[in-house]
Amino acid sequence: MARVQLSQIHKKFDKVQVIKGVDIDIASGEFAVFVGPSGCGKSTLLRMIAGLDSPTAGEIVIAERVVNQLPPKERGISMVFQSYALYPHMTVGQNMAFGLKIAGTAKSSIAEKVAAASKILGLDTLLDRLPRQLSGGQRQRVAMGRAMVRNPQVFLFDEPLSNLDAKLRVQMRAEIRALHQRLGTTSIYVTHDQIEAMTMADRIIVLRDGLVEQVGTPVELYDRPVNTFVATFIGSPSMNLLPATMAADGRSVTLDGGASLRLKQALPTMGLRKVVLGVRPEHLHLASDSAAALPVVAQLAEFTGADTQLHCTLHGTQLQAVLRERIGVAAGDSLALTPEQFHLFDAASQQRIETAIC
């Protein structure tokens, strides 16, 4: 296990600034996930930690050792790639053993390490098969086994599940998380899928445009997003954002269009100000009290088994609700929804103000 520290990391490709001064501290034994939209810099950061790219400026420290000038093989890391990167002419066992063989490890030690890793990953009956004889999930396990046998200080995962179908992705993310809990090795995982991030991470690092937007546990990011970007990126379906005005006394919020929400507890007086009201779809319910309701017009109701996903409009603004009730509605039907809680963001800066309860 090893602590990983990134200090004021910058990266330029020609004249394009991709990483713009990133500071990240990953504790020993932690499972950290870099998440963000395409082009945010998450894979570039991972490649710099691995030594496949060099930072333009800044310092990378692994296990209290500055590694900026060290080649990948001397950094104590193992990387699992999106494409598996298996040798097609080698068997499972040979693929897992290849890195150790190149490093000059004794044959007896190689056999012992491969046997131990293959047993943990359920590959012990597949060691004589070629990659083309394996399923996608089995190939990914082989790639993980090849990384495991090196006994690294840090595992690096570069979107390893993106080539798998939806059902297998769910299974494999559980297996990767269980493997981490068993081995306790520091792990850094890159994904654009916020569901993967939420279900796997000890801490999530949310990136946008080469900068860190927020670092926290999945619960912290879900409950207290620092701005509207994090609020809409974390959580599925995405948080609804509605323009509104906060009353000067902090006791109510009025949405553009006229609907007003009274708060159970007044917020600190902030003066009359423009805000963005953020409400998660799962925090909306069919209204029992019209005084605290949002009048919406239904567009589509999707029954998913456990809940109903309702697509509707509020004064022309798109709104989505996840309801536990089984309701039958048609396009154009009028409904009233009540938010059990919502988040407030400053309209100008998009930064978080507070969480409120209706």
pLDDT digits (tens, 9 = 90+) for 307-318: 889 999 998 889
Q: Are residues 78 and 206 in the same domain?
A: yes
Residue 230: pLDDT over 90: yes
Q: What percent of the chain has pLDDT over 70?
A: 97
Q: Are residues 202 and 343 in the same domain?
A: no
Using DSSP, state whether 95 is helix, strand or coil: helix
Q: Are residues 220 and 269 in the same domain?
A: no
pLDDT (average), residues 75-80: 93
Q: Are residues 66 and 176 in the same domain?
A: yes
Per the structure, the complete domain to which residue 100 belongs is given by 4-232
Residue 49: pLDDT over 90: yes
Residues 239-258: b if buried by 16+ CB within 10 A, e if exposed:
bbbbebbbbeebebbebeee
Question: 46's torsion region: left (phi>0), alpha (psi -120 to 50) or beta?
Answer: alpha
pLDDT band at 292 (very low <50, low <70, confident <90, very high): low
Q: What whole-number distance in Å separates Cα of residue 134 and Cα of residue 230? A: 38
- pLDDT one-digit tens code per residue, 317-337: 899 999 988 888 888 899 999
Q: Are residues 106 and 91 in the same domain?
A: yes
Number of domains composing the chain: 2
Q: Are residues 182 and 44 in the same domain?
A: yes
Q: What whole-number distance in Å separates Cα of residue 1 and Cα of residue 63? A: 8
Mark which of 178, 210, 232 sits at the end of a domain. 232
